[in-house]
Amino acid sequence: MELITRDDIRNIAIIAHVDHGKTTLVDSMLKQSGVFHEQKQVENRVMDTNDLERERGITILSKNTAIDYQGTKINIVDTPGHADFGGEVERILKMVDGVLLIVDGFEGPMPQTKFVLRKALALDLKPVVVINKIDRSNARPYEVEDEVLELFIELEASAEQLEFPVVYASGLEGFAREEIGEENNDLEPLFQEIITKIPPPAVDLTAPLQMVVTTIEYNDYVGRLAVGKIKRGRVSNGAVVSICRSDGSIITDQISSLYKYSGLGRKEVEEAKAGDIVAIAGLEEINIGETIADKDAPEPLPFIEIEKPTVTMTFTTNDSPFAGQEGEFLTSRHLQARFDKELESNVALDIAETESPDTWRVSGRGLLHLSVLIETMRREGYEFQVSKPDVITKKENGQKLEPIKELVIDIPEEFMGTIMEEIGQRKGQMQNMTQLNADRVRLEFGIPARGLIGFRSDFLTITKGEGIINHTFSHYAPYRGELPERQHGSLIATEEGEVTRFGIFNAQERGTIFVKPGTRVYRGMIIGANARQNDLDINICKQKKLDNMRSGSADEAIDLIPSTDLSLEEALNYIDDDEYVEVTPHNIRLRKKILNAKQRRKSNKN
């Protein structure tokens, strides 16, 4: 085997905790590399192409782009920062030779920073550390740099990995500096560090072709695109290749188009060679983790192992009284086809059929992972129901184990006692406390994953919206015992019809109301949270009795407390074991699994 160094190329992944500014930094790198014409108006966070990514301000899917810098092609992969999308991160790191680790100049290393860095160090990737957002008034870059070093030591980085270069930057302002006091206003120092510190790929161009597929993309014109880095050999447009399947079988197929990345797009090429990141069209039966190999000498690469799901819930066809009124795709056949499509690219997801043909058990890396799937399907016109999320436990040596998460919260000091009491009830154990400034502290806990279900909304209420919460999967540990049950029951509609102001006025003293006047409801639909622990049936459609004294505006004068609008995540956090979230393109409703009140009471007695 004769290895040559391809000095004309660098392959890097950008890794960071969510909201530490990596997508914004990539924007600036693209602009300064001349990818965009000077007069072209470019929207911010141009790499976040998906509607959900833009709305939530997070990266969900990895993206490929490429920059030409002084004759060297820099392939950049922007990866998700949230641990729920760790399935994406793990695959992407197999494609690159180094990483840009971006850390917020005030927040410092956070749980997902540790998660993605651990993966990168295990693969022996060369890191370049970027302390970002140093233009913030409260930035503390030197302290953050020390914290990054401590994190590398904690993750048992090698002596060579501990010699990481550091660049101080502002992705928003578009500058990077080797020393904070420098005056330059461009990213030149960052580009130089990438060229000099990230190793070029060392490859064998004469050996038979090998390429593992790390991502599947879709294009309306050419269909499925298999994306990955060519490990060895060469491939040409139109070539017949072998596909080494995950089940051990080998099939042959023909490439219809071969692309390399250029800027934000793809450019069709006639040939690519080891070290290139490419997209290949025409291989309709290829899946993530499988190997594209030489037709005459098919040798598979190791299949990419992905960490297993930790949270599960059931998806079922919608059988509410309003079923079929808003969605386009309603049947079990529609849902099965959609799940099959999702599994082609979402490898961290697990979907299993159940005894019922209308119900599936869907498992993912966390509640955000599953809620993004639910929201995406809803926007595509699907209608269905989902159950309360549940964590996946496992048994080892006869002992029940459950997933433990590392929880990091930044809060005003005045809320510390209440938050610690709340987390203690959820079986959380404090591991560290850091004073961030005069009135804010950072608390770190190990907490069962099930203890975090429903916690975010309570956390924001307790901290009056001033708290910051982050968590990531840590390990499995012995089961910590039962958690306190939900402290309130549900308010349940007894009639089908439209919600009236008078109905809400009568109900609002009982608890928190989720619906507005004019909302259509059905029997068994949840219209609020009871202040007490029991469920309560209420006629929310009740009309005020007419009498001789009533004026036409009397109903309008009724004083209503504003209703609480639940987001999808809040709805999933709210429901109990005997409740569903009904999801349609236009509404998120909460309901009892058994709609009939008499049958429900009978079931509860049994």
Long-range contacts, stretch 397-400, CB < 8 angstroms, 24+ apart: 399/478, 399/479, 400/478, 400/479
Q: Is the pLDDT of residue 56 over 50?
A: no
Look at residues 23, 100, 27, 35 and name the one whose alpha carbon lies nearest to residue 69: 35
Quick one: pLDDT at residue 540? 92
Per-range mean pLDDT, top range of 329-333, 437-441, 556-560: 329-333
Look at residues 211, 232, 212 and name the one whose alpha carbon lies nearest to residue 274: 232
Confirm if 234 and 271 have CB atoms less than 8 A apart: yes
Kindly state the helix (H) or strand (E) to which residue 175 belongs, with its residue range.
strand 175-177
Quick one: pLDDT at residue 557? 62
Average pLDDT, the chain: 84
Rounded Cα distance, 355 and 353, in Å:
7
Please state the rounded mean pLDDT for residues 98-124. Answer: 83
Q: Is the pLDDT of residue 54 over 60?
A: no
Work out the pLDDT band at 246, boundaries 50, 70, 90.
Answer: confident
* 395 carries a ligand binding annotation: no
Considering only 47-56, 227-236, 538-547, which range has the smallest mean pLDDT?
Answer: 47-56
Considering only 200-204, 414-418, 564-568, which range has the smallest mean pLDDT?
Answer: 564-568
Share of residues in the chain with pLDDT > 90 (%): 39
Q: Show the tokens assigned to 387.
A: 């159950």
Confirm if 419 and 462 have CB atoms less than 8 A apart: yes
Length of the chain as a residue count: 606
Q: Where are the domains of the chain?
A: 4-201, 210-293, 394-478, 490-565
In this structure, the dihedral spanned by the alpha carbons of residues 258, 237, 272 and 11, taken in order and rounded to 10 degrees, is 10
Q: Show the tokens assigned to 218.
A: 């879709």
| pLDDT per position as a tens digit, 268-303 | 999 999 999 999 999 888 888 889 999 999 999 887
Quick one: pLDDT at residue 98? 92
For residues 546 and 422, the model is more confident at 422
| pLDDT per position as a tens digit, 211-240 | 988 887 777 778 788 888 999 999 999 999
Work out the pLDDT band at 247, boundaries 50, 70, 90.
Answer: confident
Rounded Cα distance, 233 and 212, in Å:
13
Quick one: pLDDT at residue 42? 40
Neighbours of 584 (CB within 10 A): 22
* 135 carries a ligand binding annotation: yes
- The amino acid present at 594, given as its one-letter code, is I
Domain 210-293: CATH class, spelled out: mainly beta
Quick one: pLDDT at residue 18? 66
Q: Is the pLDDT of residue 554 over 60?
A: no
* 19 carries a ligand binding annotation: yes
Considering only 141-145, 165-169, 212-216, 552-556, which range has the smallest mean pLDDT?
Answer: 552-556
* 22 carries a ligand binding annotation: yes
Quick one: pLDDT at residue 462? 86
3-state secondary structure of 534: coil
Quick one: pLDDT at residue 496? 93
* 82 carries a ligand binding annotation: no
* 475 carries a ligand binding annotation: no
| pLDDT per position as a tens digit, 467-494 | 888 777 788 999 998 887 777 889 999 9
Quick one: pLDDT at residue 589? 95
Task: Give, as one character, the DSSP assignment of residue 340.
Answer: H
Confirm if 238 and 256 have CB atoms less than 8 A apart: yes
Q: Show the tokens assigned to 109.
A: 């290393």
Q: Is the pLDDT of residue 57 over 50?
A: no
The CATH code of the domain at 490-565 is: 2.40.50.250
For residues 601 and 460, the model is more confident at 601
Quick one: pLDDT at residue 41? 40
- The amino acid present at 101, given as its one-letter code, is L
Look at residues 590, 378, 383 and name the one whose alpha carbon lies nearest to residue 492: 590
* 24 carries a ligand binding annotation: yes
Half-sphere exposure of 499 (CA within 13 A, CB side): 24
Q: Is the pLDDT of residue 450 over 80?
A: yes
Q: Is the pLDDT of residue 385 over 90?
A: yes
For residues 442 and 437, the model is more confident at 442
Q: Is the pLDDT of residue 555 over 70?
A: no
| pLDDT per position as a tens digit, 162-172 | 899 999 988 78
Q: Do domains 210-293 and 490-565 have the same CATH topology?
A: no
User: What is the second-level CATH architecture of the domain 4-201?
Assistant: 3-Layer(aba) Sandwich (3.40)
Look at residues 604, 487, 490, 469 and name the one whose alpha carbon lies nearest to residue 540: 490
Q: Show the tokens assigned to 510.
A: 């009982």
Q: Is the pLDDT of residue 127 over 80?
A: yes
Kindly state the helix (H) or strand (E) to which residue 332 belongs, with its residue range.
helix 332-345
Among left, alpha and beta (phi > 0; psi -120 to 50; other), residue 398 is: left
Rounded Cα distance, 410 and 554, in Å:
48
Rounded Cα distance, 427 and 420, in Å:
11
Look at residues 131, 127, 129, 126 and name the one whose alpha carbon lies nearest to residue 175: 131
Quick one: pLDDT at residue 43? 41
pTM of the complete model beyond 0.95? no
For residues 110 and 321, the model is more confident at 321
Q: Show the tokens assigned to 598.
A: 């008499």
Quick one: pLDDT at residue 470? 77
Work out the pLDDT band at 556, boundaries 50, 70, 90.
Answer: low
Per-range mean pLDDT, top range of 71-80, 539-548, 561-570, 585-594: 585-594
Please state the rounded mean pLDDT for residues 404-424. Answer: 90
Quick one: pLDDT at residue 198? 92
For residues 78 and 355, the model is more confident at 355
Work out the pLDDT band at 49, boundaries 50, 70, 90.
Answer: very low
Work out the pLDDT band at 80, boundaries 50, 70, 90.
Answer: low
- The amino acid present at 197, given as its one-letter code, is K
Quick one: pLDDT at residue 61? 40
* 23 carries a ligand binding annotation: yes
Question: CA dist 216 to 10, 90, 209, Å?
Answer: 22, 15, 19
Task: List CB contacts of 94: < 8 A, sequence separation 6 or more.
Answer: 123, 212, 214, 229, 304
Please state the rounded mean pLDDT for residues 351-364. Answer: 93
User: What is the second-level CATH architecture of the domain 394-478?
Assistant: 2-Layer Sandwich (3.30)
* 132 carries a ligand binding annotation: yes
- The amino acid present at 286, given as its one-letter code, is I
Rounded Cα distance, 66 and 74, in Å:
6
- φ, ψ of residue 194 to 5 degrees: the values are -60, -45
Q: Is the pLDDT of residue 256 over 80?
A: yes
